[in-house]
């Protein structure tokens, strides 16, 4: 059906920092092509007799990038220009990847994939509980920060005022502690100046709304109920992971969830019940 290549280890002299998924070959029925994805990470390589020991953050990153890879590989769109990751609206491109991150906060999933490299013992329950608490630590601040950056991005691309005036105006509305005059956020906001998120940084937060609501569909049937989880998973595959850039993301979400997205699932993730 598809192939992917995993390049997990850091190579400082020849490899950029960060992690990413690249759609090397897109599905095309006309050209008889099957999808091929590159999945690239930057974790520490093995050292002598010690294997590459993944941190929790690295595991979450791997799940995130594999979400992108799944959307590329499981597409059913027959045309390369709309298959997989091609030409999906930017405010939905992070949906499957952020959705996948939720599984590392599921105790059953962690029990299946974790193990001490010497004893084989899974991650202790007490340590897992701390991870759940850490996820919600200062959740309001994290959410407000993303809203601030999203609003700043939009304002910088729509205002004729000086950049400092724009920062002050947005900060007045979306920050608790106002930035210092020497603050260099606009100059180092690489996502919107050297990346693909110009006037679209809000996509991260909106995609999180979609991803948390979608994961809620699995929670509603019970994550331990494997038969029901499998049914929901099949529906997720046949909609979100299959339809690529050939169907409006709003319609794709409605096909999966049966309704428009709801904010309550996002707020729950940040600790607001």
Return the active site residues. 65
Token pair listed for 267: 């707020």
Task: Tell me, letter by letter, the H, E, C secondary structure of 17-54.
Answer: CCCEEEEEECCECCCCECCEEEEEEEECCCECCECCCC
What is the spatial distance between Cα 220 and Cα 241, in angstroms, rounded to a whole number? 20
- Both structure tokens of 157: 């691309």
The angle at the Cα of 136, spanning 230 to 265, to the nearest 5 degrees, equals 45
What lies within 8 Å, CB to CB, of 132 at 6+ separation is 105
CB crowding 202-213: b at 16 or more within 10 Å, else e = bbbbbbbbbbbb
Tokens 């699932």 belong to: 265
Q: How far apart are CA 249 and CA 95, in angstroms?
A: 10
């Amino acid at each position: 059906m598809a192939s992917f290549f995993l390049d997990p280890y850091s190579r400082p002299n020849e490899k950029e920092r960060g992690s990413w998924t690249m759609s090397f070959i897109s599905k095309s029925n006309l050209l008889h092509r099957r999808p091929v994805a590159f999945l690239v990470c930057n974790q520490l390589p093995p050292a002598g007799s010690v294997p590459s020991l993944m941190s929790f953050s690295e595991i979450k990153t791997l799940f995130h990038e594999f979400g992108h890879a799944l959307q590329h590989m499981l597409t059913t769109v027959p045309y390369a220009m709309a298959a997989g990751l091609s030409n999906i609206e930017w405010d939905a491109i992070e949906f499957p990847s952020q959705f996948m991150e939720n599984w590392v906060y599921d105790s059953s999933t962690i029990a299946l994939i974790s193990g001490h490299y010497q004893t084989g013992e899974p991650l202790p329950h007490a340590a897992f509980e701390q991870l759940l608490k850490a996820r919600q630590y200062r959740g309001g601040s994290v959410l407000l920060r993303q809203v601030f950056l999203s609003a700043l991005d939009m304002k910088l691309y729509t205002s004729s005022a000086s950049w400092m005036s724009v920062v002050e105006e947005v900060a007045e509305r979306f920050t608790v502690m106002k930035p210092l005059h020497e603050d260099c956020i606009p100059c180092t906001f690489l996502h919107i100046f050297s990346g693909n998120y110009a006037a679209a940084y809000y996509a991260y937060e909106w995609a999180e709304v979609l991803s948390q609501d979608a994961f809620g569909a699995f929670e509603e049937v019970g994550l331990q109920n494997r038969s029901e989880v499998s049914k929901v998973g099949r529906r997720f595959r046949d909609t979100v992971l299959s339809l690529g850039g050939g169907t409006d993301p709003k319609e794709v979400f409605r096909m999966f969830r049966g309704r428009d997205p709801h904010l309550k699932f996002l707020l729950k993730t940040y600790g607001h019940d």
